[in-house]
Structure 1
Amino acid sequence: MKIKNQGLLIVLALFCTYFIWGSTYLAIRFGIESFPPFLMAGVRFTIAGAILYCVMRFFGAPNPTRQQWLGATAVGIFLPALGNGTVCYVQQTVSSSVAALSIATAPIWMAIFSSIWGHKITSKEWLGIAVGLAGIVLLNVGGSLHGELASAMLLIFAAASWSFGSVWSKRLDMPDGLMASASQMLAGGVVLLMVSSLQGETWPQTISQKSWGAMLFLVVLGSLVAYSAYQYLLKTVRPLVASSNTFVNPVVAFIVGIWFANEHVTTTEFIALGVILIGVFLVLSASNKEI
């Protein structure tokens, strides 16, 4: 029964990371119409982390130890701060669908970073890495990122940071259960607020209803639900499987971006989407079990 329940939880967690996270790119775009990017990301993760932390403590979860706080802070820096914070910053100039497409390379970076801890990259994974990187080159040469070298490099940096933090998290001392998500979001949110302050960002004088709605969506569904689901997957399955949401996220981002924001997706970007997803499929379907 436990195995069946675990299987159901894995399916539900994958569903959350597939479809909710696929929509967060558009929510970020709507949010930064009023909020500065780092301030928005910082408020999002700080509030979500604080809520989840208080709930877990109320139900008797122990306070993380010093070592666990250090581990959670490290992951919070790489995932919410460097990973998501960079995406929020870049989306000031890049569409939500293109941002999601670039982040789709996460499993490729995970395969590379896993080799640090002894994972031997198979020939099939090398092929997938090559194909995925070719898709990124195509996106930069003929897509919306053409001539936007800084944006392209920042999106690659965001994907690599998220991937490294995801792989490293399995080797770090973490709190049990949802307290891990709470402490990571809280730490990452605080770091983002510090960056926001250093950047001179200020609270907006006027905030549209669309931006408030986006913030609510990002806090509740994007963070409390989907981020916690992703952390559960990292603890339960291989990081590469946990990141399989990168198959669906760009497709969802394309659909909601076109439908709700009238974003224009070029033929080259559709081709790049197909190439990148082929590369991701090759990496995820490799038979070697990750260490």
Structure 2
Amino acid sequence: MTAPRRFPLLLIGAFLALYLVWGSTYLAIRIGVESWPPLLMAGVRFVIAGSLMYAFLRWRGVPAPTWPQWRSAGAIGFLLLSCGNGGVTLAEHAGVASGVAALAVATVPLFTLLFGLLFGHRNSRLEWAGIFLGLAGIGLLNLGSNLQASPMGAALILFAAAAWAFGSVWSKSLPLPQGAMASAAEMLVGGAALLLGSALSGERLTQMPTAAGWGALAYLVLFGSIIAFSSYMYLLKNVRPAAATSYAYVNPVVAVLLGIAFAGEHIGAEECMAMAVIVGAVVLIGLPQWRKAPAVRAS
């Protein structure tokens, strides 16, 4: 007999957090890097969020991670946060529009399927069609004036997407801490790595951030890190990686609309066409995940 699904409201809430909150973080990053050095802002963001989560969980009696769990969480935190989010932050600091950054990151499900092959996952014809369509969308995106004006930003944003996808797939086979403790440990290690990168690169805070800069940091700590990232790690443990990365359907649209409305960004015809192609590719990739029957649990 098939048991009812557990915590359906929690699953819905986690997906909504990814779809809407993460779509808005690209604008928050854009605002933040106007007065913060990029790696310093990202590092402070995750160290604060990770410290708050870790202290709260320990106060609630959650056991501290073991050394193997710290090692696994550190590897995933470095890939997802230091390389993934750090790459996005650097790209936006280099001039990539927040909407275009979100659109480039929408390629995460494509990379997820490709890296899944390394772990023995099989792709359907529909998923392969989505991969090739998505690669065409990446080509269209690079024809637009936004990424052409910042080749380094284009390279950073695609590297960030690839690192995030590899870490997402790899996390399924690593002994991570249970529940939210995994997010806390990953943010602590990933944030520390970003702060180290900031120091080694010579970043300096020459003047105090503006009120908007502080507000952007606070939003990224609470909503973009503690709420949304924890939701993502929860989904990675409860659904297939390609379904967990389905936030890429909605994030580009949310980010583009917010960037146009509040940051005066302009998206050209090439970027608009690339958005349609990439989002269509991600939908193709996601369809097999949603059509799969839920696993039968022993009653």
TM-score by length of 1: 0.96
What's 2:266 paired with?
264
Q: Which of 161, 166, 177 is equivalent to 1:175?
A: 177
Contact 1:140 1:147 in 2 (8 A): no
Cross-structure match for 2:296: none
Q: Structure 2-normalised TM-score? A: 0.93
TM-superposed deviation, 1:36: 0.4
CA deviation after TM superposition for structure 1 residue 277, in Å: 0.7
User: What letter corresponds to residue 126 of structure 1 in structure 2?
Assistant: W
Matched, 1:89 2:124: no
How do 1:142-291 and structure 2 match up within 5 A?
142-286=144-288
Q: Contact 2:91 / 2:152 at 8 angstroms: preserved in 1?
A: no
- 1:52, 1:240 → 2: CA distance? 26
Q: List alignment gaps of at least 5 residues for structure 1.
A: none
In the alignment, what sits opposite 1:7?
8
CA distance in structure 1 between the aligned counterparts of 2:173 and 2:63, rounded to whole angstroms: 21
Alpha-carbon RMSD: 1.4
Which residue does 2:69 correspond to in 1?
Answer: 68
Greater shift, 136-145 or 193-202, is seen at 136-145
Q: CA deviation at 1:121?
A: 1.8
Give the residue type in structure 1 aligned to 2:42. A
Residue 5 of structure 1, CA deviation: 5.0
Query: 1:245 is aligned with what amino acid?
Result: Y
- Verify the 8 A CA contact 1:79 1:161 in the aligned structure 2: yes
The number of residue pairs the alignment matches comes to 288
Residues in 2 aligned to 1:173 and 1:162: alpha-carbon distance in whole angstroms:
18
**Post-superposition offset of 1:32:** 0.6
* Uncovered stretches (5+) of structure 2, i.e. residues with no partner: 293-299
Give the aligned residue type for 2:39: F
Give CA-to-partner distance per residue, 1:132-165, whole Å, 9 cap, x none.
0101100111341125332222111100000000
Q: What corresponds to 1:28 in structure 2? A: 29
8 Å CA contact 1:34–1:204 kept in 2: the answer is no
SS of match in other structure, 1:145: helix
Moved more, 3-12 or 272-281: 3-12
- Alignment-mate amino acid for residue 18 of structure 1: Y
Identity in percent: 49
Instruction: Give the 3 Å change call, closer, same or farther, for CA 211–6 of structure 1 in structure 2.
Output: same
